[in-house]
Structure formats: structure tokens, C-alpha cells
A = this chain, B = another copy of it.
Amino acid sequence: MIKAILFDVFGTVVDWRSGLVHGLERTFARAGLDADAPTLADAWHEQCLDSLRADGSSPVDGHALDASLARALSASLAKIGLDGQLTDSDTAALPQLWRKLPPWPDSVPGLKALKREYVIAPRNNGAVALMTWLAKHAGLPWDVILASEPAAPQKDPASAHVSFAAALGLAPDEVMMVSAHNRDLYPAREAGLKTAFFARPGEHGPAQTSDLEPSEPWDVVAFDLLDLARQMESAARY
């Protein structure tokens, strides 16, 4: 019987690409720059995921995270030939965009529905400060935001899932992992968690080719987060 549901956040719950693209477009317009916001957004997102994974030495430190997002931005600007084109105050302000990413339209109603019967929590990489401000802005009604233990980044992803369940006093099979990325669900299944997938075909923009379908018969395959809530409500009843 499932008691808690963990969610991948970037892509699955929030639309990071639209949030970053709109924010960058506003900054470019103010700076009078004719630059390609989607290209920078994609490069920055990729760099940030790398930084968040690599920078595991202080996973619960919000200052370190802000610095890491800023470094990733500088690297991305350099990569697309825009270094020196933005002011320092723009470069310092842009990492705040990550705190204000918009939820997909079904995310908040879906999470609220699931919260009635399950503990809901983000499965993040130790980005506690970012998760907190993001939830505040987007209205994500998490029951708990679990910080990774400092040791977790050295662990394999499967044993980190077991630690997450243990932190809630639950066995792995009482927890379900939800993601719009098939790759997130393999370590969850290996750790003994239940798995759920739905596609976010717009996550990477109009040309997306990845994660349009479930790659495995995961425990639950849904249309979106609201549909997942409907399926889980029926599951709890019978």
C-alpha cells in the first residue's frame, strides 16, 4: 500500500523551459540584445543539472546553490558567445528565475488531489532552498521537502531512494516515484519503489523526441499529473 509519492520536479512538475525562456527574453529586450533565449535556456538547464549533481559537497547550502546556478549561467553565456554582453546586475538577478518557474497547468490541482491521501514530496538533489522558494511561488503544496543527507551524492541513486523512504519511516514499496523521465524510474524500481510515468511532450520545446512514451511497463502510466491523481484515487478505494 502506497503512503508517500516522490516527484521529479524540473520537467515533471514545473515547466523550466518556458520559465527560463520568458525571463531571458525580458532581460535581452531590456538590454537591447538580439539573442536566442531558447538556446541559452537549454544550455543553462543542462549546465545546472551537471552542477547540482557535481556540487554534492554541500547539498543543503542555499548560498552554494545560488553560486552554482550563477556559474552555470556564465558558462552557458560563454558557450553561445554572449559573455560580457549582459550587465553584472542582470547576471546576478537571472538565477532567481529558477525560483519562479511556472507549474504545468495540471500540476497544482493534481498535487492537491494526491495530498488528500498521500504524503507528497519533491525528489530533489539537495536543492532545499530552491525547492522551498519554488514551491512558495508556484503554490506546490508539498507535505515535506527532504534534504539529501550530505553522504547521499556519493551513494548510487537506488540506495538514495531507500534513504528517502527510511526518512519517512516507510518501506521502499510504500513509496512511489513519479517522473516524466524514464531514466529516473530505473533506480527507483531497483530500490523497490513503485513507479509512475507521464509524458511532458513540451518539456524540451516543439522538437522534443525523448520521453514521449514509457520505455517500460511502469506500475502506473498516466496522461498527466491530474490523471495520475484520478488513477491513484481509484487505486486507494479498491
Flag if A132 contacts B119 (CB, 8 Å): yes
Flag if A119 contacts B143 (CB, 8 Å): no
Instruction: Give A174 Cβ to nearest chain B Cβ, in Å.
Output: 11
Q: Give the residues from 61 to 117 in chain A that come closer than 8 angstroms, CB to CB, to chain B.
A: 61-63, 65-66
Interface size counted on chain A using CB atoms at 8 A: 29
Q: Which of A44-52, A164-172, A230-238 contacts B (4 or more CB under 8 A)?
A: A164-172
Picked from B65, B66, B136, B146, the residue with its CB within 8 Å of the CB of A128 is B146
Flag if B136 contacts A167 (CB, 8 Å): no
Q: In the complex, what residues of B have CB within 8 A of residue A146's CB? A: 60, 128, 145, 147
Q: How far is the CA of A61 from the CA of B146 in the complex (A)?
A: 12
Flag if A143 contacts B136 (CB, 8 Å): yes
The chain B residue sitting closest to A118, CB to CB, is B136
Q: In the complex, what residues of B have CB within 8 A of residue A147's CB? A: 146-147, 149, 167
Flag if B129 contacts A167 (CB, 8 Å): yes
Q: Give the residues from 123 to 160 in chain A that come closer than 8 angstroms, CB to CB, to chain B.
A: 128-129, 131-133, 135-136, 142-147, 149-151
Chain A contacts to B: CB under 8 angstroms: 60-63, 65-66, 119, 128-129, 131-133, 135-136, 142-147, 149-151, 163, 166-170
